[in-house]
Chains A and B, each alone.
Chain A
Amino acid sequence: MSVTRNRVAAGLALVAAGSLAVFGLATPAQAASKKLTIAFVMGAEADPFFKAMKVGATAEAAAKGVNLVWQGNPSVYSPATQIPIAQQVLATKPSGLVLIPTDPTALQTIADSAIKAGIPTVNVDTHVNDLSKVTAFITGDNADGGAKAADAIASAIKYQAGQTYQVAVGLTSATATTNVARLAGFKAQVAAKYPGIQIVDTEYSQSQPSVADTNVSNWLTKYPNLAGIFAIDGTNASGAAAALQAKGLVGKIALVGYDAYPANVKLLQAGVFSALIAQNPAAEAKLAIDDLVAKLTKSPAAKSIKHDVVIPNVVLTSATSAADFAKYTYVA
Chain B
Amino acid sequence: MKSFVARTKAAFGNQQVLLLTVLVLMVAFFTWRNSVFFSTSVFGNILSDWSPVVLIAIGETFVIISGGIDLSVGSTVGVSGVVGALAMEHLTTHNFGQNLTLFLGFLATVGTGLIVGTINALMITKAKVVPFIATLVTMGAGAGLSIVFTGGDPIAGGPAKAISLSVPDFGPFSRPGLVVVLIISILGLYMHKARFGRYTFAIGSNAFAARAAGINVNRHLAKVYILSSILASLAGYYYYLRLGSGAPTSGQGGELQAIAAVVIGGAALSGGVGNFFGTVLGALVLTTVTSGLIIINVAANWDQVAVAILIAAAVLLQQYRTRVRK
Residues of A within 8 A of B126 (CB): 2, 5-6, 8-9
With both beta carbons as reference points, the residue of chain B lying nearest to A2 in the complex is identified as B126
Whether B181 sits at the interface, judged by CB under 8 Å, is no
Residues of B within 8 A of A248 (CB): 167
| B314 CB → nearest A CB, Å | 23
Contact across chains for B127 and A210 when beta carbons are under 8 A apart: no
* Whole-angstrom CA separation of A9 from B125 in the bound complex: 9
From known contacts A20-B141, A266-B157, infer whether A46 and B163 are also in contact, taking CB-CB under 8 Å. Answer: no
Contact across chains for A8 and B295 when beta carbons are under 8 A apart: no
Contact across chains for A213 and B242 when beta carbons are under 8 A apart: yes
Whether B36 sits at the interface, judged by CB under 8 Å, is yes
Q: How many residues of B contact A (CB 8 A)?
A: 54
| B253 CB → nearest A CB, Å | 8
| B248 CB → nearest A CB, Å | 7
Q: Which of A201, A215, A221, A246 contacts B166 (CB 8 A)?
A: A246
With both beta carbons as reference points, the residue of chain A lying nearest to B238 in the complex is identified as A210
Contact across chains for B249 and A207 when beta carbons are under 8 A apart: yes
Contact across chains for B294 and A203 when beta carbons are under 8 A apart: yes
Residues of A within 8 A of B248 (CB): 46, 75
Other than the known A75-B143, A242-B244, what 13 A-B pairs have Cβ atoms closer than 8 Å?
Answer: A5-B126, A8-B126, A9-B127, A23-B148, A74-B147, A75-B249, A209-B247, A210-B242, A214-B294, A246-B163, A247-B167, A263-B156, A332-B151
Chain B, residues 143-164, CB within 8 Å of chain A (1/0): the string is 1110110111111110000011
Whether B48 sits at the interface, judged by CB under 8 Å, is yes
Contact across chains for B34 and A209 when beta carbons are under 8 A apart: no
* Whole-angstrom CA separation of A213 from B303 in the bound complex: 16
From known contacts A12-B122, A13-B129, infer whether A242 and B243 are also in contact, taking CB-CB under 8 Å. Answer: yes
Contact across chains for A48 and B152 when beta carbons are under 8 A apart: yes
Whether B41 sits at the interface, judged by CB under 8 Å, is yes
| A115 CB → nearest B CB, Å | 31
From known contacts A44-B152, A204-B300, A204-B301, infer whether A6 and B127 are also in contact, taking CB-CB under 8 Å. Answer: yes
- Of residues 191 to 231 in A, which have CB atoms within 8 Å of B's CB atoms? 201, 203-204, 206-210, 213-215, 217-222
Chain B, residues 235-264, CB within 8 Å of chain A (1/0): the string is 000010011110111101000000000000
Q: Which of A201, A221, A245, A263 contacts B41 (CB 8 A)?
A: A221
On B, residues with C-beta under 8 Å from A are: 34, 36, 39, 41-42, 45, 48-49, 52, 119, 122-123, 126-127, 129, 134, 137-138, 140-141, 143-145, 147-148, 150-157, 163-164, 166-167, 239, 242-245, 247-250, 252, 290-291, 294-295, 297, 300-301
With both beta carbons as reference points, the residue of chain B lying nearest to A22 in the complex is identified as B144
Whether A33 sits at the interface, judged by CB under 8 Å, is no
Whether A281 sits at the interface, judged by CB under 8 Å, is no
Residues of B within 8 A of A8 (CB): 122, 126
Contact across chains for A218 and B243 when beta carbons are under 8 A apart: no
Q: Is the interface of A mostly helix, strand, loop or mixed?
A: helix
* Whole-angstrom CA separation of A206 from B304 in the bound complex: 12
From known contacts A238-B247, A261-B154, infer whether A208 and B45 are also in contact, taking CB-CB under 8 Å. Answer: no
| B161 CB → nearest A CB, Å | 11
Pairs A–B under 8 Å by Cβ, sample size 16: A2-B126, A12-B122, A17-B140, A19-B144, A20-B141, A201-B294, A208-B252, A210-B52, A210-B243, A214-B291, A217-B45, A221-B42, A222-B36, A238-B243, A245-B163, A247-B167
Residues of A within 8 A of B294 (CB): 201, 203, 214-215, 218-219, 222
| A251 CB → nearest B CB, Å | 15
Whether A10 sits at the interface, judged by CB under 8 Å, is yes
Which of B147, B249, B252 has the most C-beta atoms of chain A within 10 angstroms of its own C-beta?
B249
Q: How many residues of A contact B (CB 8 A)?
A: 54
Contact across chains for B247 and A210 when beta carbons are under 8 A apart: yes
| A186 CB → nearest B CB, Å | 19
Residues of B within 8 A of A204 (CB): 300-301
Contact across chains for B250 and A210 when beta carbons are under 8 A apart: yes
Top 3 closest pairs, chain A to chain B, by CB: A46-B152, A9-B127, A263-B156
- Of residues 13 to 45 in A, which have CB atoms within 8 Å of B's CB atoms? 13, 16-17, 19-20, 23-24, 44-45
Contact across chains for A217 and B300 when beta carbons are under 8 A apart: no
With both beta carbons as reference points, the residue of chain A lying nearest to B166 in the complex is identified as A246
Residues of A within 8 A of B244 (CB): 242, 245
From known contacts A208-B249, A222-B34, A222-B294, infer whether A214 and B45 are also in contact, taking CB-CB under 8 Å. Answer: yes
Whether A239 sits at the interface, judged by CB under 8 Å, is yes
Contact across chains for B48 and A242 when beta carbons are under 8 A apart: no
Contact across chains for A263 and B42 when beta carbons are under 8 A apart: no
Q: Which of A13, A16, A238 contacts B154 (CB 8 A)?
A: A238
Residues of B within 8 A of A9 (CB): 122-123, 126-127
Residues of A within 8 A of B157 (CB): 263, 266
Q: Which of A219, A221, A242 contacts B242 (CB 8 A)?
A: A242
Residues of B within 8 A of A267 (CB): 156
Q: Which of A17, A218, A239 contacts B137 (CB 8 A)?
A: A17
Q: Which of A20, A44, A48, A218 contacts B42 (CB 8 A)?
A: A218
Residues of B within 8 A of A238 (CB): 154, 243, 245, 247
With both beta carbons as reference points, the residue of chain B lying nearest to A11 in the complex is identified as B127
Contact across chains for B245 and A218 when beta carbons are under 8 A apart: no
